[in-house]
Amino acid sequence: MIFVLMFFCLMKFSNALIEWYHPNKRDLPWRDTKNPYFIWISEIILQQTRVQQGLGYYMRFIEAFPTIESLANAPLEKVLKCWQGLGYYTRARNIHLTAKFVVDEYNGVLPNTYAGLLKLRGIGDYTAAAIASFAFDEPVAAIDGNVYRIYARVFGIYAPIDKGVGKKIVREIATAEFDLKQPATFNQAIMDLGGQVCLPKNPLCESCPIKAICYAFKCGEVASLPVKALKTKVRDRYFYYILIRYGIFTYISQRKDKDIWHSLFEFPLIESYHALQPEEVMLTSDWVDICGNGRVEVTYISDEQKHLLSHQHLFSRFFIVEVEKPSYLLLRDYTKVLINDMEEFSTPRLIERFLAAEPAAKYFIKGVDF
């Protein structure tokens, strides 16, 4: 009896979902193509990015790299610059490496099966399923956070969806009555439902096409589902950037540690475990090492700015400093570049934003005469 009821609910779920999708689907450029390269790029961008934000990045990325060959042949720096602002830069490095691999090993043709796609770097279960179903109509369920949330609410799954048992239950339900005849439509429909109606917070339940069979809606448990066992621990970090002006030059370095923003460029950085006042920053030994013992003029100090990452909160200040001569540390560990060339380098979003603001134009870029 339980199986019959579950089967009936799944049939109603699938039919109602696809019926809702056709008049409500989002008009997105990667849905107008079967090109696996375009679909792959869109899925990687959307892994950690909302559709509306990711749309512009997708269009610029495809314009810069219209084929997998053009991506493979591009320098990593150009790829990172195009990715700048999206965050999670490992995604950009992975697609660059994978493009090179596909060009070298598969003559520039992405595998046309879920199993084949899974073998590529940076492509996991969900992304492989999405590409396989959208580009090649392979009947495989694409299960992402939207899908876990929807099924947990519709079928009253209280097992944590970030643990093995909860994931297993959702996967079994998601594949039990998967629409074999319309795999791409079904996968896109459930993604749109999660993106437009069954939202993580304040879902639009009254507009939901499947509210009649939704356990959470009928039982008043929408806010309680899905359940997650693991709580993300947020770490506070304090960054103090020193923007050196040495005539028409400044000094930057490339982040190389296994940390945020790997491969991106930044100005000399002093990091603290706790908040420092500007005068405290200027009394540190790191300040002396960076600025040296010659004449140093601090022309601007920004207010503290908060930058939110998924697991970290960054509190930053920017110091614009004119020096008479570069310190030994700058000469040894940093690269001298023209201030006017800074826009050519891929930098973290918080630096990009500061360089685009008025204080940077007035105190950092000012007087740079060619």
Instruction: Kindly give the pairing relationship between strand 235-245 and strand 312-323.
Output: parallel
Contacts 24+ apart (CB under 8 A), 19-24: 19/209, 20/189, 20/193, 20/209, 20/210, 21/185, 21/188, 21/189, 21/192, 21/193, 24/192, 24/196
**Which residue type is seen at 248?**
I
- C-alpha span between 279 and 298 (Å, rounded): 11
Q: Measuring CA to CA, how many Å separate 250 from each of 332, 336, 338?
A: 14, 6, 6
- Token look-up 């934003």 returns 353
Q: Tell me the β-bridge partners of 189.
A: none
CA dihedral 244, 250, 255, 259 (to 10 degrees): 30
DSSP state of 171: H
203 prior amide bond cis, ω within 30:
no
Q: Which of 19, 43, 172, 324 is catalytic?
A: 43
Check: CB of residue 235 under 8 Å from CB of residue 313: yes
The helix (H) or strand (E) run that includes residue 111 is: none
Question: Cα separation of 84 and 8, whole Å?
Answer: 47
Structure tokens at 127: 């992304």
Does the annotation mark 43 as catalytic? yes
Contact 368, 343 (CB under 8 A): no
Longest dimension (CA), the chain: 84
Residue written as tokens 């920004």?
302
Which residues are catalytically annotated?
Answer: 43
